[in-house]
Structures are given as structure tokens and as C-alpha cells.
Amino acid sequence: MNGLRARFFVIAVLLLANGILAALWLNGMFADRQNARRREDDLRQVLKNNGVTLGENFTWPDGTAYTLYYEADEDTARETAAALLGDVTATRKEDGAVRFESAAGWAEVSDVNDWYAVADAPSLRAALASNGFTGLVMEDDDTARQRFDGLTVVNGGWTAIRSDGQQTQIFGSWIGGTPKAVRDTQTRPADVCLLAYLGVADALPFTAVLKIELVYLDRPSQSLLIPAWMMVTDVDFVYIDAVTGEEMGFMDGAAV
């Protein structure tokens, strides 16, 4: 009988502990939501004070990402060229670029990952599909973007600049292999980064924020993909480093 009572006592203590932990978790989640709402209200006020409004259908984005490091060596470039052109041979040029050739065309890549290629195909889509090229998003027949962890690399990808119906000229940049996450580079929420940006901005060249989206910006000189909050405004696109909150640049009219 004493043993049974002891078991019931232990079970009761465990249930009570679980209840306390659940209450603490719910309280923490509620506090996080309250803090997020408070930050968003503060941000709306800061924007209003600077003559900036949020778009009618604006919603605060969520999501997290890490800075990614990728290899930009000849072996990785060869894999990319082979995926575009089939079996290739490689020749290193005096300026450091590498030229790849195959029966389906040729390609050159510089030491900072700039590509130029001529493929025996009527369009970029056809050239990429002919060898089962993967890891891309086709915006149209002649524009391909890369995505990593669900985020688009907005200043990378390939574009066809001319096609005569048989051959297609292609330029741009392409990241081969599998990028790896850099430690201690997790992104901060969009509203936190935007507040940091507004705190140092001298004057805002826009009057409305229409959308904010988490994207990657390629820094080929460092072989890094930097997560950025892309702020779509009424006049341009503003890129804010999603890890540090620092401004990364503007782009008039389109997201590169």
C-alpha cells in the first residue's frame, strides 16, 4: 500500500512539473508575441515620423537563415559546366579564367564566378533541361535563379542575352556544390533589422514600404551568400543585412 501511494505521489509531482513547464512555455511565447507587437508598433511610428507608410496588404515576414559559404574552385565549376553542356574538357587561361568545351557548346568562368557560355539550344530553359540541370527556378525561358534553403539568390543566376533559334548565349553567375552554413550568423527578425537601419539612415528616398522578403545576396569575392531583408518600396529595392541590420545597398526598379 505504501508503495502504491509512493507511485501516485511521484506521478502527481511529474504532472505538476509538466504543468509548470507548459505554463512557463506559454507565458514565454505570449511575452515574445507581445514584444514583437510592441516593436512593430514602434516601427510603424518611426516610419510615420519619416513620412513613410506601409502598403495596404503589407504583412510582417518571418523565417530564419544563415550566411552560407560555398566552394568556387575549378572542380566545382567543372560540375556546373558539365550540367549545362554535358561532358566537358577544361583549359585554364592566362587571366585565371577556365574555359570548358563540349560537343554542346562552351563556357568560361572567371575567378570571381562570372560565367559566359554558348550552348547549342534554342533557349536557356532548353539548354538547362537537356542535361537535367537542377537547383534553379526559371523565371521565364531565358532567366534562371538559384534558391538555397528556400531563399532566392537575387543577384545571381543565368540570363540568355541572345538566341538565334539554334544557339543561346548565356551570362551571369552560378554557385556550384552545396553551400555550408556559417556558425553564429542566424538572421534577426525583419522589424529588428529595419529599426537598426532606420536608426542610422540620414534620409529615406521612399515614401512607402510595400513588401519585405528574406533573400540571399551573393558576395563572390568572399564566396558567401548573405541573408538579407529585401525591402520593396515605392521607388526602389533596399537590402538590409539580416544578421547585422546594416544597409547593403539600393537597386532602382528591380531586384537585380
The pLDDT of residue 205: 82
* Tens digit of each residue's pLDDT (9 = 90 or more) over 117-167: 999 888 888 888 776 676 678 888 888 888 898 899 998 888 888 777 788
Residue 182 pLDDT > 80: yes
d(CA 159, CA 31): 47
CB 195 within 8 A of CB 43: yes
The position carrying cell 510595400 is 210
- What is the value of pTM for the model shown? 0.77
For 49-61, how does the pLDDT look when each residue is reduced to its tens digit (9 = 90+)? 888 888 888 888 8
Rounded Cα–Cα distance for residues 74 and 97 (Å): 9
**Res 223 pLDDT > 80:** yes
Confidence of residue 252 (pLDDT cuts 50, 70, 90): very low
pLDDT at residue 30 above 60? no
Query: Residue 91: beta bridge partners?
Result: 99
Read off the C-alpha cell for 38: 510592441
